[in-house]
Amino acid sequence: MDALNYPLSSYYDFQTGQIVPRDSYRQIHLSDMRGYYLADRETLHEPLKEDPLLYEVYECQVPAKPGEMVPCSTIIHPGSVGGEFYMTKGHYHSDTNAAEIYCCLRGHGLLLMQHGGQCLVETMKPGALVYVPAGWAHRSVNVGSEDLIIFAIYPADAGHDYGAIREKGFLKRVLRGPDGSPVVHEAS
């Protein structure tokens, strides 16, 4: 990107998670997540009966070069697919030296972080500040009944590698228990 007007200043709505003006924005529907959910394994090639919006991501556009940082907001809506809570795809950073900072503004969730056969689960509630170390895959899961809103900052040249998670998933899955509360299962 060429024409940048400094300083870059936006408005972040803590209630909705929206960043205004909207630089970069994407919506992820269920149809974008084929193969990610356990229940989807059997029905992968069947047409979807409905296609709900699972999460939205706002990112401020900055040059993708060393030293620059991307502020971003993720809004994960409440719900589940076959008893598995709505979640982000999850990814590694292509640059294995790129860490990230996550801060939960609203809602109730879990952050899965995985590296070298180890999968950690951190609670995300308003004020939770989690450091995602370099080299760790990360996925946010909304286990509450309202939107989960997370602010994050990552190096602009980090790059996103979705392949390994898309193929193998995380070592843990978060499912709705009999009383509606989240239960973390070892992935089969």
Which chain residues interact with ligand PAN by CB under 6 A?
57, 72, 74, 88-91, 100, 138, 140, 152, 154, 160
Interface map 91-110 toward Zn ion (x if CB under 5 A): ---------x----------
d(CA 87, CA 53): 11
d(CA 52, CA 64): 31
Shorter beta-carbon distance to ligand PAN: residue 112 or 182: 112
Shorter beta-carbon distance to ligand PAN: residue 30 or 72: 72
> What kind and span of H or E run contains 100?
strand 100-106
Shorter beta-carbon distance to ligand PAN: residue 57 or 174: 57
d(CA 108, CA 83): 17
Q: How far is the CB of 5 from Zn ion (least distance, A)?
A: 26
Shorter beta-carbon distance to ligand PAN: residue 75 or 80: 75
d(CA 93, CA 90): 10
**Residue 74 interacting partner from Zn ion, ligand PAN, none (CB closer than 5 to 8 Å by kind):** ligand PAN
Q: How far is the CB of 22 from ligand PAN (least distance, A)?
A: 15
- By the rule CB under 5 A, 40 interacts with Zn ion: no
Which string of b and e fits 140-165 if b means at least 16 CB within 10 Å?
Answer: bbbbbeebbbbbbebbbbbeeeeeeb
**Residue 122 interacting partner from ligand PAN, Zn ion, none (CB closer than 5 to 8 Å by kind):** none
DSSP character at residue 31: G
d(CA 188, CA 180): 21
Instruction: Tell me which residues touch Zn ion (CB under 5 A).
Output: 100
